[in-house]
Structure 1
Amino acid sequence: MPPGKRDTYTPDSLLAVAVGVFIERGYDGTSMEHLSKAAGISKSSIYHHVAGKEELLRRAVSRAIDGLFAILEEEHARVGRPVERLEHVTRRMVEVLTDELPYVTLLLRVRGNTPTERWALERRRDFDHQVAELLKAAAADGDVRGDIEVRLATRLVFGMINSIVEWYRPDGRGSGDREVADAVVRMVFEGLRAEP
């Protein structure tokens, strides 16, 4: 770096660059050299912000996980009939995914090869389990169809939502985000709700 030129990266902007490289190359296929080239800064400048690439991965997947778990703390996720709470959680999952697209994409691609990846997978399983419990409670209330096994329904719902990372590209106006959330909720709950 030329004398007098300051490193303009912040931990957040460096994280955004790292997430892009991790998604493109895979975490295992990314070196600190790749990260420094993508950021246009020296490796020592990166180490000024973080201890290494594992810390960057931890921060990135934590951002996605924290967004998902925050949904479960929202009032509409905690109060009301289970089917209404489940509908709220489903909508908000799509919104978090579209708002935090690169971070959730990375979370969905971790494979468990490092301690951070194993931690992230465990947290994802915990979140999935809590959502599955809501679906079970809605089924017990008779508000969702009883002819679809709860585990299968849970996997189908998560499969639909998680697949969004593969094709969704924000339009910059935010209008697509709501349209996607509306469509997912409509498809899921028109298919799942029990006939009156």
Structure 2
Amino acid sequence: MTMARRDTYTPDTLLAVAVRVFNERGYDGTSMEHLSKAAGISKSSIYHHVRGKEELLRRAVARALDGLFGILAEPGATDGRAVERLEYVTRRTAEVLMAELPYVTLLLRVHGNTDTERWALARRREFDQQVAELLKQAAAEGDLRTDIDVRLATRLLFGMINSIVEWYRPERGSAAPEVSAAVVRMAFAGLRVT
């Protein structure tokens, strides 16, 4: 007599599989069939955990966004001069990106095709705006160059940080603390008043 295989997936392990498949195939290119094959479980087993594919997407991008917004509540982001808080937020953003690499990668690839994607894009813009405010405050306090447009500096800063998803692979020996420290050194060597 053969025993039926028991579904050993939890919502978290299923989410990890979904994020991997979304990043490989793209969210729009992923079906529930793709997810069930990747997880090695039936579609009905997936529906036991979630209502559908978009719920998995929302959970995944929420995890990335929660990590980013959590930074803004940390003491290093709320205490001290604006430039020090900005450096802290920059370092921690790079650290969160590397710690939550698959989830942040997915967040950076949403296009706004679904309600969840539009929500995620709006939340990303909100985070960017809060960081831009720190840049403005640091410039007003005389710690950052005033000849660089704040919006441009914000875009360039996040462009550098977000590019980490394209090349960072911890298994290849890149140490997250070294990467985040290099991001801060490079960015603020050009932004700080000398």
Same fold at TM > 0.5: yes
Per-residue CA shift, 1:166-192, capped at 9, x if unaligned?
11111387x610110010000011111
Runs of 4+ in 1 over 4 A off after TM superposition: none
- The residue correspondences of 1:157-196 to structure 2 (distance < 5 A) are 157-171=157-171, 176-195=175-194
> How far off is 1:3 after superposition?
4.0
Which position in structure 2 is the counterpart of 1:106?
106
Counterparts of 2:114 and 2:74 in 1: how far apart (Å)? 31
Counterparts of 1:126 and 1:44 in 2: how far apart (Å)? 37
Counterparts of 2:4 and 2:33 in 1: how far apart (Å)? 23
Share of identical aligned residues, percent? 77
> How far off is 1:102 after superposition?
0.2
Counterparts of 1:5 and 1:147 in 2: how far apart (Å)? 64
> How far off is 1:149 after superposition?
1.1
Counterparts of 2:171 and 2:39 in 1: how far apart (Å)? 25
Counterparts of 2:154 and 2:116 in 1: how far apart (Å)? 25
- Unmatched runs of 5 consecutive residues or more in structure 1: none
User: Is the partner of 2:80 in helix, strand or coil?
Assistant: coil
Is 1:123 the equivalent of 2:123? yes
Counterparts of 1:6 and 1:39 in 2: how far apart (Å)? 13
Which position in structure 2 is the counterpart of 1:10?
10
Counterparts of 1:159 and 1:95 in 2: how far apart (Å)? 15
The one-letter code sitting in structure 2 at the alignment partner of 1:169 is R
- The residue correspondences of 1:40-79 to structure 2 (distance < 5 A) are 40-79=40-79
Which position in structure 2 is the counterpart of 1:135?
135
User: Is the partner of 2:175 in helix, strand or coil?
Assistant: helix
Per-residue CA shift, 1:10-39, capped at 9, x if unaligned?
111110000011011110110000000000
TM norm structure 1: 0.96
Counterparts of 1:71 and 1:172 in 2: how far apart (Å)? 27
Counterparts of 1:23 and 1:108 in 2: how far apart (Å)? 10
The one-letter code sitting in structure 1 at the alignment partner of 2:170 is P
Counterparts of 2:27 and 2:40 in 1: how far apart (Å)? 19
The one-letter code sitting in structure 2 at the alignment partner of 1:35 is L
> How far off is 1:147 after superposition?
1.3
Which position in structure 1 is the counterpart of 2:20?
20
